[in-house]
Amino acid sequence: MEDTDDPFEELAASACNLLADNVGVRYSGVVAMETESLKTGSSEFLRLPEELRHHVVSAIVSTIGSAAFDEDAARSSQLIEVAVDQELGGRAASLFFPETETVVFLLPMSDQPVDVTRFRRAAVSALPIIYRIDDLREERARLVQKHGLLSYVEELAKVGGWEHSLATGRLLWSNELYAIHGLEPGDELTLDRVLQLYPSPGREKLSIEFERAAAEGGSFDMTAPIRTPAGERRIVRTVARSGTGRAGRMLYGITQDVTAQLSAERRLWWAANHDPVTSLPNRLLFEDRLSVAVQRARRDKRTFALVLIEISDFARLTDRAGYTVPDSHMMEVAGRLGTVTRASDTIARVSLNEFALLLYDINDNESLKAPMSRLKGQIEEMQSLDKGDGILMSAGVAFYPSHATGAEELMRAGEMALAQAKRKLSNPIVVFDRQIADDVAKRRETILGRARESLAKREFVPYYQPQIDIETNEVVGVEALVRWQTPDMLLDAKDFTYALDDHEIGSRVGRAVLDAVITDIAKLRQITDRPFRVSINASRTEVLRNDFLDTFLERTRNGNLKPNDFIIEITEDVIIGVDDQALHDKISFLVSSGVEFSLDDFGTGYASLIHITSFPVKEIKIDKQFIFGIETDRRKRAIVKGIIQIARSMGLHVIAEGVETTEQQEVLRDIGCRYAQGYLYSFPVPFSQFADMLERP
């Protein structure tokens, strides 16, 4: 308030100065007045200097939340002041006490009675402005909530609020919005100036959205690039809704800089859909492209060939089970596949040692000869150049629509042909036919029959592979792995998938192995007090079985063990395609009982990042594909380090699978991985050998 010779103005100024620590925004936040006459006994009245009290009329008021202190209220205080002054004739000052939400009016001393209703009318005059402030706040909150602009990734971006008067063209921006657009706060704004920051076609699209909102009302949501005055390119998302304010029709909105978010999403999408070694599409992206290829071929009446190729390194195959081809070989194969295919064809790496091709407009053996001949030539050239010594190639082929008219059926046909090719090394390229399907069906029935016999003989047994603390070299856990052990063979799970995938046989095998594990661990608890947990694998068939939960809890109780002695490993195929609520209910029930869940083969599945946020897993196991070659591959190190950092931020336990060398162990130690599992420490072994391992000092 300016200095003046008017005694009242001087008194009002003095009151403001004396009460500066307790005074809020003038007039802001007034909602209702008491109808009583003077409240000269109120605490606010008594807090005024004594010499001022005979000049004062006080009235208790209330406010809407913190409206008096937000940016919108401050911006509107002048409008409120005008509304109040019109009622009080300009001969009043007001003080707002935020602690008790009270307004004190200072009036010139007069012998005339005071009409308290004038103050009430003054407050009522301010109501529309106050409500407009609150409406705007609620509108913005609704927009933020509706469009999910406060998600985890979006917290990394910046958001600014704005309003645009359709009647006057005036734009009001928050300071953050100026920063997003590379402008200085307070710069004069017009819609035309803002539109110039948007390159075409975003400029035209935004202009149309504003015009439509002005003409029809409603809302819009659009994302477009901008270029700041300094030349920096950014991506912004604008969400707006029309409304009515004191100044007429308005647009209220939020604009967010989503540059970092979209960049992160693109990187995540690429990582989730591509092989980290060869940069080719992975199985997830290939299956999507296969589905699209089937749809287009059906629509356009075209044909194509699906070719599944497995590359195996014979030298390493003879050294150990669970072999893998070196990354350098796989990169070489990927490059050579590119030379024998056309730009329109699709190449993907769908598993550790397997590639897949989609060759368009090929529908019989004759048209297949040329590309497959070129492929064989490339593999032979690798061997002659000493780049693929010992490499073996097997290929299975299926034609659309001759062998199948659906993506899944075509994939199964290709896999059956590939399995046949792997058994016939003299003929490494096999085209699917009905005889192969008949052979597979017979082989499946044979395996299921033998599995039933072996169940009666208790030939499905657990083998144990320890999990190691890299820092102390101590056993901190163990994974129980199913083996089919007969007098003349020992098979791991990948060799009898027909049995495990069968609902009846798979369930019986799971129960038999669980019973054996509980018996073994109960024995161990009697001979050692070393703390460790047992990981057991649960297949899709088992998890979806209605009695899975009851069976697991009953068997642990019968073995005098606790549910928290175990951690259940599931893979992403258990989750995908299952009713989320039903699965959540089952998992939540076990979690409440003390059981924890681990996500196996992390990083190679459908959408691993999604699953660790949407399902209550406590542990992730990094797939061996990322560990093999990590000592020389910077990309793999970066991926594994990123996984570890994400897991730590979420409080998850991390185990690296497939550790085979001390060099791999040291890299894992350096990037923060504490626990590991693999052939470096032990192959899966029978119970007696694992018990001996625990008894060692």
Q: What residue ranges of the chain are covered by domains with CATH 3.30.450.20? A: 148-264
pLDDT of residue 18: 42
For 140, residues 6+ apart whose C-beta sits below 8 A from its C-beta are: 161, 252, 254
Distance of alpha carbon 86 from alpha carbon 95, whole angstroms: 18
Q: Tell whether domain 274-432 is in CATH 3.30.70.270.
A: yes
Rg (CA), the chain: 37
For 493, residues 6+ apart whose C-beta sits below 8 A from its C-beta are: 481, 482, 483, 500
Judge whether 419 and 432 are in contact, CB under 8 Å. no
Q: What residue ranges of the chain are covered by domains with CATH 3.20.20.450? A: 444-695
Judge whether 655 and 467 are in contact, CB under 8 Å. yes
pLDDT of residue 551: 82
pLDDT of residue 163: 84
**486 pairs with which residues across the strands?**
489
pLDDT of residue 158: 63
Q: What residue ranges of the chain are covered by domains with CATH 3.30.70.270? A: 274-432
Closest by CA to 287, choosing from 432, 434, 414, 395, is: 414
Give the right CATH number for 148-264 from 3.20.20.70, 3.40.50.720, 3.30.450.20, 3.90.180.10. 3.30.450.20
pLDDT of residue 122: 53
Alpha helices in 313-433, H assignment, sequence order: 314-317, 327-340, 365-384, 407-423
Residue 414 token pair = 């290709």
Distance of alpha carbon 9 from alpha carbon 404, whole angstroms: 93
State the DSSP H helix or E strand holding residue 431, giving kind and residue range, or none if neither: strand 429-431
State pTM to two decimals: 0.57
Please give the class, per CATH, of domain 444-695: alpha beta
Judge whether 351 and 283 are in contact, CB under 8 Å. yes
Helix (H, G, I), strand (E, B) or coil at 494: helix
Q: Please list the rounded mean pLDDT of every run of 10 residues in the chain (697 residues).
A: 43 44 33 32 48 40 32 42 51 47 49 51 49 54 49 48 81 82 84 90 90 83 92 90 75 85 76 83 90 93 93 52 62 86 90 90 86 84 60 88 92 92 78 89 91 94 96 93 92 86 87 92 84 85 73 85 87 63 72 83 58 75 87 84 82 92 94 94 94 80
pLDDT of residue 19: 41
pLDDT of residue 20: 40
